[in-house]
Chain A
Amino acid sequence: MSPQDAHGGAERAALRPLVELKRVEKRFSNGTLAVRDFNLAVGHHSFVSLLGPSGCGKSTVLRMVAGLGEPSRGTIDWPTSTDDAGGRPQREIGFVFQEPTLMPWATALANVRLPLDLQGVAKGEAEARAAEALAMVGLKGFERAFPRELSGGMKMRVSIARALVTNPRILLMDEPFAALDEITRFKLNNDLLELWQTQRWTIVFVTHSVFESVYLSERIVVMAARPGRVVADIAVDAPYPRGSAFRTTPVYNDWCRVVSQSLGHAMDE
């Protein structure tokens, strides 16, 4: 049994959060209130999903956690992080976008190496670590391939490898598999869960799929739109490891029903 199982993510997060958002508000320069009074504490090694309809500000929250855009009001704290020079734990964040967001002129290896290159890691070490990260996501042998030579799923794997290469404490994923076909998505879901259980990062995962959020997460934060806010915080009480068989269990179905209902309320509000 893995260490993550059977714990309510919400309980553990309250003890010693890795990152804590307090009364965060985001108003864009055009006056739109994207997020209002948003409170969230993400515990170490937890897998938290932000689930909600489009326009509910879930991506905005994720980007603020990454440091891309400051909150208009409220704070984002990293209570356990030792600050680097800028006071932001920048280098400990891995970010995966909805699109693979690869540099088309660079090979898979060079794309994965990018964060290390930007940090000034020596070339030999950067190459070795990037190759290792590619192997971790199942792309050993594709180091020299250019993005256009890879399928959608493989490009997303490269993108994940790039997020992993710096050995981040927290992995922020913004609907990473939304554009993929279902079969590829299922496989990437499984691989991501296995990586999470062996590497013990914290993951914040934005999705609009009830099924994906239940399958992956320990904890689901359901959001409503206009303005974006939290309407429910559900701890998914189902053990890991969760394999493909989990999708056919009554427990999975029950949680899907609970989360769907909650999302339904969120849409009605």
Chain B
Amino acid sequence: MTETMAGAAPADDIDLPPVRSPTVLGIRRETWPKILMPSTMGFLGLVLWEVLVSVNAVPHYILPGPLLIARTLWTDWGTLSGSLWITLQITGMALTVAVVLGVALSILFSLSKWVELSFFPYAVILQVTPIVSIAPLIIIWVDNTYLSLLICAWIVAFFPILSNTTTGLNSADHNLRNLFELYGATRWQTLRRLRLPAAMPYFLAGLRISGGLALIGAVVAEFVAGSGGVESGLAYRILESGYRLQIPRMFAALIMISMSGIVIFLAMSLITHLALRRWHESAIKREN
């Protein structure tokens, strides 16, 4: 008798990965309608908009047509791109700080029930207080515009990451925890090898929400700062254009904010997919 079992070949078969469906231009065939249908609808909508505006001779300080907006985007790119850069910087920094502090604090929460009991209610208060109502205070208290905007955006982006990661860290399988205990794992080993990986899907779901919220937080803070005459990012450009009745530019800035939001969402979705595609249900497509 050797060390191996007789009949070592397993009785049951492995699930084969689904057969890859044919692709057109590197994109799966069934994905094309998802791209083409909304694009066509969007294009038709723009054409209708342009036609209605020019047929009815709507003045461009009321509603500019898409062509004029596109032209403005091109001509004002110098000013607008500078503002875009500021808004993106604040968003990115706020999200980074939210991730670092959110994850660190949730680890602290998961290690000590007392810390969680003491601090979690305050995190909730921070979350439920509308940012518009505290932004003026922060802008008054903090001299540096950049820093005050950053704090506002951070407050909005922070909570989903904290709350989700805390839930995730506490959601590791009970039997797996017993197994770690059985093999004498240290707290640190259990955290690194069990609780952090188990928290990953939760954290990433929080990150996707926070990415969008960081942008909203940044824009709201810029509005508040802008109404006090402080120059900053894209939201300030919108305010300014509103005062000067430069409505095409207002639309251009609006489009840039929307586009930033979409890009942030896609980036977070991509990160989620890359991190989870090997193991988590949410990232796996099944054919059945």
Contact of A118 among B8, B13, B176, B184 (CB under 8 A): B184
Q: Tell whether, in the assembled complex, residue B179 and residue A101 are in contact, meaning their CB atoms are under 8 Å apart.
A: yes
Q: A68-B182, A118-B185, A148-B281 are in contact. List 16 more A-B contacts (CB 8 A).
A: A90-B184, A95-B179, A97-B178, A101-B173, A101-B179, A103-B194, A104-B279, A105-B278, A118-B180, A135-B3, A138-B8, A154-B10, A166-B183, A183-B11, A184-B11, A194-B5
Q: Tell whether, in the assembled complex, residue B280 and residue A104 are in contact, meaning their CB atoms are under 8 Å apart.
A: yes
Say whether A27 faces chain B, with CB atoms less than 8 Å apart.
no
* Contact partners of A16 in chain B: CB under 8 A: none
Say whether B197 faces chain A, with CB atoms less than 8 Å apart.
yes
Say whether A187 faces chain B, with CB atoms less than 8 Å apart.
yes
CA distance A215 to B278 in the complex (A): 39
Q: Tell whether, in the assembled complex, residue A68 and residue B178 are in contact, meaning their CB atoms are under 8 Å apart.
A: yes
> What 0/1 readout, one digit per residue, does chain A (151-189) give for beta carbons within 8 Å of chain B?
111100100000000100000000000000001100100
> When A95-B179, A101-B173, A195-B5 are in contact, do A138 and B185 touch as well, CB less than 8 Å?
no
Say whether B37 faces chain A, with CB atoms less than 8 Å apart.
no
A-facing residues in B3-23 (Cβ within 8 Å) = 3-15, 17
* Contact partners of B5 in chain A: CB under 8 A: 136-138, 191, 194-195
Question: Which of under 10, 10 to 19, 20 to 34, or 35 or more describes the interface residues of A?
Answer: 35 or more
B-facing residues in A115-150 (Cβ within 8 Å) = 115, 117-119, 132, 135-140, 142, 145-150
List, sorted by A's number, 16 A–B pairs whose CB atoms are closer than 8 Å: A68-B178, A90-B182, A90-B183, A91-B184, A97-B175, A101-B176, A103-B176, A118-B189, A132-B3, A138-B7, A138-B8, A145-B14, A148-B281, A148-B284, A153-B10, A194-B5
Main secondary structure, interface of B, reads loop
Say whether B270 faces chain A, with CB atoms less than 8 Å apart.
no
A-B pairs with beta carbons under 8 A, tally:
107
Q: Residues of A at under 8 Å CB distance from B?
A: 63, 66-68, 86, 90-91, 93, 95, 97, 99, 101, 103-106, 114-115, 117-119, 132, 135-140, 142, 145-154, 157, 166, 183-184, 187, 191, 194-195, 197-198
